[in-house]
Amino acid sequence: MKNVLIIGAGGIGRRHIKGYLSTNRVSLSIVEPDDKKISTIKEEFSIDKTYTNIQQANLTEFDLAVICSPANMHVDAMNMCAQNNLSFMVEKPLSTSMEGIDEIIQLVKKNNLFARVGYTRRNSHVSRALKNQIDNNKVGDVKLVYINSSQEFPKYRPDYQTIYYAHPEMGGGAILDAATHMIDQLIWIIGKPTEVSCMFDRLVLKGTNTEDSCLINIRFENGIMANITVNQFQKPNVNSYEFIGTKGNLKLDHSILRFADDDSGKWKEEKDYMQGLDPMEVHQNNFLLQAERILNGLEGKECDLATLEEAKLNLKVVFAAKQSWQEKKIISIE
């Protein structure tokens, strides 16, 4: 059994608690400043120890930390873990600025620690099926990618005006909170971005200081071009990826993966990876799959979840996108 410390027991923290306990491979403790949340969680889950701040915990007693605090607090938490030789998984995004990131990466390497970033979509069966087909040349050489991930965000988070989402410095907004998921998928499947352009604005949602819409164009080192479109006010819930190659197209709509290689207007292959399943249960199961992969990585086994270096590159794309619109130019990424 591994001793795991969950840092932050809000909405995402609860999903990690469920995920790690479902592995039957851990003993869990939590850090949470809200006493009411601690009481509720202790009633619902089997928790070993509880702390109201990270300083109360003896970090050397743990094998892994799972950092679920607000994004603007990630660097401090990662630094404390690395200073105490504690491996960790940190929620996305890696941070809300580049400050302190390189120092943490260097310290993790120096202390030979295991560290990953929680881009949960890498764990879904359909995302892995998509990547596998692309890796196995299903569509030939990929040249273009179109992504549209849009929904009525206030329906799913009616408290959006009072949480991190309303504040860019806390990691909110369509780019840093939402598009970062798609950026990670592209880094995972395609490779290194080199150029970014973007337009963004707050078109509809009120009571925030963040954008609710963005159009991001990315060029990659291998020449592939991609477009990411996000709006957080439309009524239909759309999550669509289309990879266009020299031998055909793969299109992912939510959980349905389709393939076509002619102009008949019909998809030649189609599979629903969520058929007969409850979407919320599938979403929670991705946290279980992530926990299993993290624990395997901690034991020295293969783990292809996002590295700190990949998440740093993701942040570079995010900030390049914002800089692009502010300066009205294409931004190069080193």
Residue 301 lies in a domain: no
- Measured distance CA(155)–CA(136) in Å, rounded: 38
Q: Do residues 88 and 145 share a domain? A: no
The last residue of one of the domains, among 62, 79, 113, is 113
* Residue 300, in any domain of the structure: no
Express each pLDDT in 36-59 by its tens digit: 999 999 999 999 999 999 999 999
The reply to whether 209 falls in a domain is: yes
Task: Give pLDDT tens digits for 203-230.
Answer: 999 999 999 999 999 999 999 999 999 9
Query: Which residues make beta-bridge pairs with 31?
Result: 7, 51
Give yes or no: residues 260 and 186 share one domain. yes
Asked whether residue 297 is domain-assigned, the answer is no
Q: Tens digits of per-residue pLDDT, 144-163?
A: 999 999 999 999 999 999 99
The answer on 97 and 14 residing in a single domain is yes
- Looking at residue 147, its pLDDT comes to 98
Taking residues 230-245, report their average pLDDT: 98
Domains in the chain, number: 2
The answer to whether residue 210 sits within a structural domain is yes
Give residue 334's pLDDT band: very low, low, confident or very high (50, 70, 90).
confident
Angle between helices 101-110 and 74-83 (to 10 degrees): 20
Claim to verify: residue 138 and residue 171 sit in the same structural domain: yes
How far is it, in rounded angstroms, from Cα 253 to Cα 49?
A: 42
Same domain, 71 and 136: no
* SS3 readout for 245-308: ECCCEEEEECCEEEEECCCCCCCCEEEECCCCCCHHHHHHHHHHHHHHHHHHHHCCCCCCCECH
The whole-angstrom separation of Cα 127 and Cα 157 is 24
Region 125-149 average pLDDT = 98
What percentage of residues in the chain have a pLDDT greater than 70? 100
Q: Which domain holds residue 108?
A: 2-113
Residues 35, 87, single domain; the answer is: yes
In a domain, 304, yes or no: no
Q: Is the pTM of this model over 0.75?
A: yes
Q: Any idea which residue has 């869990």 for tokens?
A: 28
pLDDT score at 159: 94
47 with 187, same domain?
no
238-245 and 142-150 strand pairing? antiparallel
Same domain, 21 and 170: no
- Adjacent-strand bridge partners of 150: 238
Indicate which CATH number applies to the domain containing 182.
3.30.360.10
Percentages helix, strand, coil for the chain (3-state, rounded to 5) are 40, 25, 35
CATH number at residue 31: 3.40.50.720
Q: Which residue has the tokens 């499947």?
A: 189
**DSSP state at residue 222:** T
Q: Say which residue the tokens 């995920």 belong to.
A: 19
Question: Are both 80 and 140 inside the same structural domain?
Answer: no
Is there a single domain that holds both residue 258 and residue 150?
yes
Structure tokens at 334: 């080193």
Tell me, yes or no, whether 51 and 171 share the same domain: no
Task: Give pLDDT, residue 174.
Answer: 97
